[in-house]
Structure 1
């Protein structure tokens, strides 16, 4: 069975190869290790292999790990799960990135509750790119207004867009979903200069990261290919 270090090496090589094939600059795509349900010991192993950015979906589980790993300063914590209004204070104080902001109310609360002494909280707007009823995220046509409203908020840095396309689509449709998100970011940068850096596309997972990188991903969110298959729920 492969170790976490072996897996990180394999995923890193996949990212490097896809980046090169897409004609993009080396180092322009970053690995976000999705560590939900994984133990602090597994994260320690990943850090020892050179991984520093970890994505968490569940707040209380994440807070427990953040506390357990306080002696590992190089870790950068990303929140990537759905956000309830009553959880924003702890998210604002504990994370460097939030990839799953999907409405103005959540952005306002994160802005108000982020300690001004901390660096601005990096946020991505989650887009429901395929209009799936079961998924969080704003619709593409809602983006310009949302970006315009969020841009001026203090203590936040609007970095870009995130999406979780329907993984059951044919490959051509999946590629088109990634391209639509990339085009939306390009349009926002052209139409709303000064709204934020708008330099980030958080898209692509273990099974489709090559397609996402070909269409412009800057963060790929990878869980099983790093940590192995999740154990079945008891």
Structure 2
């Protein structure tokens, strides 16, 4: 008789709530999480992409919602039921010089990149602690740690998310809830495709990407599965950078 190791990366019987599920990262995470046994609930403002994920079997349930509305956040927390893993993936990036950055732009960045995660975590984390198990993964950016001149509002809001994550990790330490940050670098998704296909984009990759390439959105799948699973039980309050070496420079 042989002993088989436990499936530490498996999420069988776990419910995972993914915000920003219709975006490029969310569309990569949903099928991967489902493949390891999770019941995945996707939240986004865009209904059609969510419906496609449900039809493909990548989502167990789709919730269309504007998470910038605090009342909608409370509704989502109730509709989702007991959530074991929360992946706060919704985000908004802008790029302007400081003199051209308005109060409204900063406010919107904070509302999208910090407040949504704050409210959902506040609504769901206590129940995770009560059940003795939970994972919270907040998607920030490497620009929160290594900013460039035009991202003051974006970097500030995502850096605040890191501070929030660490405080939550301390608050729930020892109660089975781990809270961590994923900090991706530049990705070759739909929003950046034109730039990285340009001569300027190629020069950027040659100069700043040690690997000579820009990772696709599914580059966050492995790190997300790790931070969502039992394998990360001793990891909390940490920032996992996924940028192919960009931040080394």
Q: Same fold (TM over 0.5)?
A: no
TM range (shorter): 0.3 to 0.5
Question: TM-score if structure 2 supplies the norm length?
Answer: 0.36
Question: TM-score if structure 1 supplies the norm length?
Answer: 0.37
Structure whose CA Rg is larger: 2
Q: Indicate the structure with greater helix content.
A: 2
